[in-house]
């Protein structure tokens, strides 16, 4: 169970904050819902998630500040070899990204950064996956460090830039 103010991660929508827990009636029955405001979205986007479906949907608490160092270690580690077939590669990356696991998200970002370095470009789909991974990771780092999403994204980009020139 999450409380108002908790930073949470939705595996396919990203990081948000529980802004309210509401009781709603629908078709004669009453249910409780988390109202979640997603971070880093302009205009702000809110989700209504039934409390009883939170586990099934894969909602989890965002990482805490002490776990951010592990994220930096993943970004700095050697990349996984990606499949040469773009359909297989994109499917594999998207599946990893949508597990909702912060470390797999960091791996996706790291691997795409290396691929861009090696190939000198990313496909349009690769760029979309990169952008989504960056948004998810920025939200999680922002929540963990209690900073703005833009600041977190800047820090991640700086660390990726260092990796590119390593």
- Residues 108-148 pLDDT 10s: 999 999 999 888 889 999 999 999 999 999 999 999 999 99
Residue 97 has pLDDT above 90, yes or no: yes
Q: What is the mean pLDDT of the chain?
A: 92
Closest CA to 137 of 125, 154, 115: 154
The confidence score (pLDDT) of residue 105 equals 97
pLDDT band at 106 (very low <50, low <70, confident <90, very high): very high
Whole-angstrom distance, CA of residue 85 vs CA of residue 41: 32
- The helix or strand, by DSSP H or E, that contains position 10, with its residue range, turns out to be strand 7-10
pLDDT tens column, 11-41 = 999 999 999 999 998 888 899 999 999 988 7
The confidence score (pLDDT) of residue 164 equals 53
Cut 0.85: pTM above it: yes
Whole-angstrom distance, CA of residue 78 vs CA of residue 118: 13
pLDDT tens column, 53-94 = 999 999 999 999 999 999 999 999 999 999 999 999 999 999
Between the CA of residue 66 and those of 107, 130, 137, what are the distances in Å?
Answer: 19, 25, 15
The confidence score (pLDDT) of residue 95 equals 96
């Amino acid at each position: 169970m999450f409380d108002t103010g908790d930073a949470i991660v939705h595996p396919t929508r990203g990081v948000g904050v529980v802004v309210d827990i509401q009781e709603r009636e629908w078709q004669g029955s009453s249910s409780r819902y988390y109202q979640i405001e997603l971070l880093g979205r302009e205009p702000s986007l809110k989700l209504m998630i039934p409390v009883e479906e939170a586990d099934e949907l894969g909602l989890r608490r965002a990482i805490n500040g002490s776990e951010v160092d592990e994220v930096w270690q993943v970004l700095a580690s050697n990349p996984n070899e990606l499949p040469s077939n773009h359909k297989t590669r994109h499917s594999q990356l998207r599946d990893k990204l949508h597990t909702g696991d912060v470390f797999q998200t960091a791996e996706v970002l790291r691997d795409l950064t290396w691929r861009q370095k090696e190939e000198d470009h990313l496909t349009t789909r690769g760029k979309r996956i990169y952008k989504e991974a960056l948004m998810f990771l920025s939200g999680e780092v922002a929540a963990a460090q209690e900073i703005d999403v833009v600041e977190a994204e800047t820090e991640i980009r700086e660390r990726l830039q260092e990796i590119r020139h390593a």
